[in-house]
């Protein structure tokens, strides 16, 4: 490498070595930062931590839906989203994936958004409003995945329950609402 190439390399190395990165943002004046009392509560702060697998044990899923849980339920905790997944072998055989999630109500999207996502993934899905369940509820039936998910908002709590059919998902959602904080 000679002449121009070397000069360009020296300039680049010089800029990198001299801290040619983005300038540091100016510090916020101390008195303009919100205090703990002024800071808005996050949606997760309004929902107590819940171990969904304890709230709805495998035996409850087996009793409500009929069948046997084939594997140990799997607890999922993603901050404001807390859930439990079950592998159910129904009484008539086969396999049914069951999932229960509890989260802040603000995270429950509207039916059209859920359908748009499913259709964007190439799935055949439909939505229907459910009466008599929480403050607001709907079910999305996903024919491509052979499952249905019931979404419920009750106060500050959101519940999502996935099972093999809308009826089975609603049955579990009703049970979760009885148990939920």
Task: Give 150-167 pLDDT, tens digit per residue.
Answer: 999 999 999 999 999 999
**DSSP-derived secondary structure letter, 156:** T
Distance from C-alpha of 14 to C-alpha of 58, rounded to nearest angstrom: 63
User: Which pLDDT value is given to residue 150?
Assistant: 96
Q: Is 27 or 78 the better-scoring residue by pLDDT?
A: 78
Q: Is the pLDDT of residue 41 over 50?
A: no
Distance from C-alpha of 117 to C-alpha of 121, rounded to nearest angstrom: 6
Q: Is the pLDDT of residue 14 over 80?
A: no
Task: Tell me which range, 2-11, 12-21, 46-55, 90-99, is most confidently predicted by mean pLDDT.
Answer: 90-99
Distance from C-alpha of 135 to C-alpha of 113, rounded to nearest angstrom: 19
- Report residue 154: phi and psi, to 5°: -135, 110
Q: Is the pLDDT of residue 120 over 70?
A: yes
**Domain 43-179, what architecture?**
3-Layer(aba) Sandwich (3.40)
Give the angle subtended at the CA of 40 by the CAs of 36 and 41, to the nearest 5°.
90
Q: Is 46 or 172 the better-scoring residue by pLDDT?
A: 172
């Amino acid at each position: 490498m000679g002449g121009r190439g070397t000069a360009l390399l020296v300039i680049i190395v010089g800029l990198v070595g001299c801290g040619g990165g983005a300038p540091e943002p100016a510090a916020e004046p101390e008195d303009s930062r919100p205090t703990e009392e002024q800071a808005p509560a996050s949606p997760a702060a309004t929902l107590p931590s819940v171990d969904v697998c304890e709230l709805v044990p495998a035996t409850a899923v087996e009793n409500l839906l009929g069948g046997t849980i084939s594997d140990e339920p799997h607890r999922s905790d993603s901050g404001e989203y807390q859930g439990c997944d079950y592998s159910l072998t129904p009484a008539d055989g086969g396999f049914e994936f069951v999932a229960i999630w509890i989260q802040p109500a603000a995270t429950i999207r509207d039916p059209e958004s859920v359908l748009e996502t499913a259709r964007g993934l190439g799935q055949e899905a439909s939505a229907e409003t459910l009466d008599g369940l929480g403050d607001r509820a709907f079910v999305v039936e996903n024919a491509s995945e052979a499952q249905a998910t019931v979404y419920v908002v009750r106060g500050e709590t959101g519940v999502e329950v996935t099972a093999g059919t809308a009826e089975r998902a609603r049955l579990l959602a009703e049970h979760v609402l009885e148990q939920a904080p």
